[in-house]
Structures are given as structure tokens and as C-alpha cells.
């Protein structure tokens, strides 16, 4: 079994010899080299000691679970297929691989654009997502740019920035508490 450092949190800082303080007698021996090339081509911690577990325990819960189910439902509606989703599927199905087709992927019934969940323009999904990121007690009516950052961490849709700006500029609570 390979030991991992995934559960330990530490920061390594290099301190040059000059800033280490007073040296002891053994460190000042005349037969010691300059130390300029001591660590060339030497790897102390190889990549197999580290495990990437950034999203391992991430799970949608509460309102987000309902939003994800509605996004999947909106993607599966065959008769009213979203034009952006249809174009993305055609790009992926085409034999010629382009840069644009590499930006789209499909996983678990969700369409991803550059690693973010594509939200179709069905029912009121955009409003529900922005409300969750702006009006909740955790978000705390944090303004246009913070709300856009929170939404764009997970989701993407065309003209998302414009939608979030319009939503925040018409938020009743923000308008009442805004200081000029």
C-alpha cells in the first residue's frame, strides 16, 4: 500500500541558508560544497504519494438536487430540444473533431460546457439557480459579481452574466438596503 498525504494539510516553504540564523560548527566545515547543485534532478515527493480528491465527497442536496433533475428532464425532452444542446450533440457526433466539440461533454444525462453544467432555457431554471445563489441566507444578497461567480462555478448558459445582472438589479431586498 502506498502512503498518501491526502489527509495532511501543510505548506512547505524554502528558507535559504542565509535566513536560517546562526550556523553551527558542523555546517561551516571547509570540506562542504557550495550546495548549488545538490538537489538537481531529485524528487522528494513523487506524484504517487498524492491523491486527487477534490470532488470526491461532493453531493447535490436539497434544492440543488431538484434543479439537477429538472435540468436532466429539460435535456431529455425529445420534442422540444434546446437549440444549444442539439448543436452540441451534432458537434460531438461529427467525425471531424474540432476545438469546439472538445468543450462539450455528456455525463449522467447532463450536458457540460467546459466542465460546467449547461442549463437549458426551460421553465424557470435560471431564476431558481440565481435565487439559490443570491437570496439564500448563506449567499446573503452579495451583489452582481459575487452572485455571478457563485452561479458560474457550477452552471453555464448563454448570456448568464446579463441574466444575473438583471436579476440583482431588480432584487427588492438589495434595492431597499443599497447605500448610495
H helix runs in the chain, sequence order = 63-76, 83-93, 99-102, 125-134, 144-152, 160-169, 172-177
Distance CA 112, CA 81 (A): 16
Q: pLDDT tens, 71-124?
A: 888 776 644 556 776 676 666 666 655 556 667 777 777 888 888 888 888 768
- Report the pLDDT value the prediction gives residue 148, as an integer from 0 to 100: 93
Report pLDDT digits (tens) over 22-52: 666 666 666 766 777 777 777 777 777 776 6
Closest alpha carbon to 106 in 133, 127, 77, 75:
75
**pTM for this one?**
0.58
Give CA–CA dist 85/139, Å, rounded.
30
Domains of the chain: 63-177 (1.10.340.70)
Q: Is 167 exposed, middle or buried (0-12, 13-18, 19+ CB in 10 A)?
A: buried
Amino acid at each position: 500500500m502506498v502512503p498518501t498525504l491526502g489527509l495532511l494539510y501543510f505548506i512547505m516553504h524554502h528558507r535559504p541558508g542565509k535566513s536560517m540564523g546562526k550556523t553551527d560548527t558542523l555546517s561551516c566545515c571547509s570540506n562542504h560544497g557550495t550546495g548549488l547543485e545538490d538537489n538537481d534532478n531529485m524528487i522528494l515527493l513523487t506524484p504517487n504519494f498524492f491523491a486527487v480528491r477534490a470532488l470526491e465527497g461532493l453531493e447535490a442536496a436539497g434544492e440543488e438536487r431538484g434543479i439537477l433533475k429538472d435540468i436532466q428532464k429539460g435535456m431529455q425532452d425529445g420534442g422540444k430540444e434546446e437549440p444549444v444542446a442539439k448543436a452540441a450533440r451534432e458537434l460531438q457526433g461529427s467525425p471531424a473533431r474540432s476545438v469546439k466539440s472538445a468543450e462539450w461533454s455528456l455525463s449522467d444525462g447532463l450536458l457540460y460546457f467546459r466542465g460546467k453544467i449547461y442549463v437549458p432555457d426551460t421553465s424557470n431554471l435560471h431564476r431558481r439557480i440565481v435565487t439559490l445563489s443570491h437570496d439564500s441566507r448563506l449567499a446573503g444578497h452579495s451583489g452582481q459579481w459575487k452572485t455571478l461567480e457563485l452561479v458560474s462555478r457550477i452552471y453555464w448558459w448563454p448570456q448568464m452574466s446579463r441574466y444575473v445582472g438583471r436579476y440583482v438589479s431588480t432584487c427588492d431586498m438589495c434595492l431597499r438596503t443599497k447605500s448610495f
